[in-house]
């Protein structure tokens, strides 16, 4: 095995910049959601510690997002340097390493929001109207998994190797994918036949054009998921305020109090590596569709 030695061109640089923007938008949307949720939880005096925990995550996400906003320029050419002189792999290695760090933190945050903090809120308030509902938790899960798989595709499709030239670079491994794959193998699941996006295997790209085309397909899918995430976050936060207003004003309030609420069924996280998930992926470079 050896890494595939593609070089940059203007189209690749443009797509890579769009990829960086997508990751920044993901963090921005999440920060916006948490800020609104924290503001809503101010109305419940017993949830001071839960708010403090979420505020800590907001500060961390803001710090991480500064990299995408101010530091990652993809490539800065020297005066006598041309794009075709710059290899793609060092850039993908650098960007994916940072992306994976961000996604690992989001994995912990997702668990906190949908499990730990949720359970604390329910134990203190017994109010299912102030926790994330099942529909939105599923959207959070879908969005996160698409970003995870996109980053796996970015480096595995180039066969980026580490110190061992016969193996993929282990520094770019993603915990969720590694754990899910191990569990699937232990359970006797045929990875080639699995419809779970996390278990789908990545094939290598043979040309820069193929890599660019597939990356653009991934970016389109990412944008669709981000739009869905943002729209449903707005809907859910509005529902929080409607339900709170209804409780405050009693039967004289016309706000709708109906809606799906998060059920307290078991303790398994919806972000469990063994959870089945059927999501759209680009038709190229995935062994199982």
Q: Copy the structure tokens of residue 223.
A: 């944008």
CA-to-CA separations, 270 to 129, 173, 263, in angstroms, rounded: 19, 21, 12
CA-CA distance, 111 to 272, in Å (whole number)?
9
* pTM exceeds 0.85, yes or no: no
- pLDDT of 109 reads 96
- Could you tell me the CATH number of the domain that includes residue 43? 1.20.200.20
Residue 123 lies in a domain: yes
Q: Copy the structure tokens of residue 136.
A: 């939105």
Which parts of 159-200 fold into alpha helices (H)?
Answer: 175-186
Residue 243 lies in a domain: yes
- pLDDT of 136 reads 94
- Label residue 282 by pLDDT band (50, 70, 90): confident
> What's the whole-number average pLDDT of the chain?
84
Residue 265 lies in a domain: no
Dihedral-angle region of residue 72 (phi above 0 means left; psi in -120 to 50 means alpha; beta otherwise)? beta
Do residues 150 and 225 touch, judged by C-beta distance below 8 A?
Answer: no
Q: Copy the structure tokens of residue 243.
A: 């339900």
Q: Is the dihedral of CA 21, 27, 30, 35 positive or negative?
A: negative
pLDDT higher at 79 or 278 = 79
Per-residue pLDDT, averaged over 99-108, amounts to 97
199-232 pLDDT per residue, tens:
998 999 999 999 999 999 999 999 999 999 999 9
28-84 pLDDT per residue, tens:
999 999 999 999 999 889 999 999 999 999 999 999 999 999 998 887 776 677 777
- pLDDT of 91 reads 93
Host domain of residue 30: 10-252
- pLDDT of 15 reads 96
- pLDDT of 66 reads 96
Strands (E), the chain: none
pLDDT higher at 167 or 60 = 60
CA-CA distance, 112 to 119, in Å (whole number)?
9
CA-CA distance, 259 to 30, in Å (whole number)?
22
How many structural domains does the chain have?
Answer: 1
Residue 141 lies in a domain: yes
pLDDT for residue 87 is more than 70: yes
- pLDDT of 285 reads 53
- Label residue 272 by pLDDT band (50, 70, 90): very low
DSSP secondary structure letters along 154-203: HHHTTT-B-SSTTSB-GGG--HHHHHHHHHHHHTT--GGG---TTTPPBP
CA-CA distance, 216 to 218, in Å (whole number)?
5
53: exposed, middle or buried (Cβ count in 10 Å: 0-12, 13-18, 19+): middle
Per-residue pLDDT, averaged over 175-203, amounts to 90
């Amino acid at each position: 095995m050896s890494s595939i030695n593609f070089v940059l061109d203007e189209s690749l640089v443009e797509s890579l910049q769009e990829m960086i923007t997508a990751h920044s938008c993901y963090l921005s949307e999440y920060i916006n959601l948490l800020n609104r949720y924290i503001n809503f939880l101010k109305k419940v005096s017993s949830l001071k510690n839960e708010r403090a925990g979420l505020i800590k995550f907001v500060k961390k996400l803001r710090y991480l997002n500064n990299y995408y906003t101010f530091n990652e320029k993809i490539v800065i050419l020297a005066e006598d340097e041309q794009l075709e002189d710059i290899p793609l792999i060092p850039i993908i290695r650098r960007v994916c390493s940072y992306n994976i760090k961000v996604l690992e933190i989001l994995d912990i945050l997702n668990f906190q929001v949908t499990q730990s903090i949720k359970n604390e809120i329910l134990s203190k308030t017994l109010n299912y109207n102030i926790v994330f509902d099942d529909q939105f938790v599923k959207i959070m899960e879908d969005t996160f998994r698409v970003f995870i798989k996109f980053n796996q595709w970015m480096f595995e499709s180039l066969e980026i190797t580490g110190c061992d030239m016969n193996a993929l670079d282990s520094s770019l491994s993603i915990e969720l994918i590694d754990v899910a794959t191990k569990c699937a193998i232990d359970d006797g699941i045929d990875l080639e036949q699995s419809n779970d996006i996390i278990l789908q295997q990545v094939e290598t790209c043979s040309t820069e054009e193929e890599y660019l085309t597939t990356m653009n397909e991934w970016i389109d899918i990412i944008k669709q998921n981000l739009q869905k995430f943002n729209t449903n976050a707005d809907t859910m936060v509005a529902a929080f305020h409607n339900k709170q207003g209804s409780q405050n004003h009693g039967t004289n309030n016309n706000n709708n109090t109906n809606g799906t609420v998060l059920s307290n069924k078991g303790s398994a996280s919806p972000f469990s590596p063994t959870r089945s998930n059927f999501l759209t992926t680009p038709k190229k470079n995935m062994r199982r569709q």
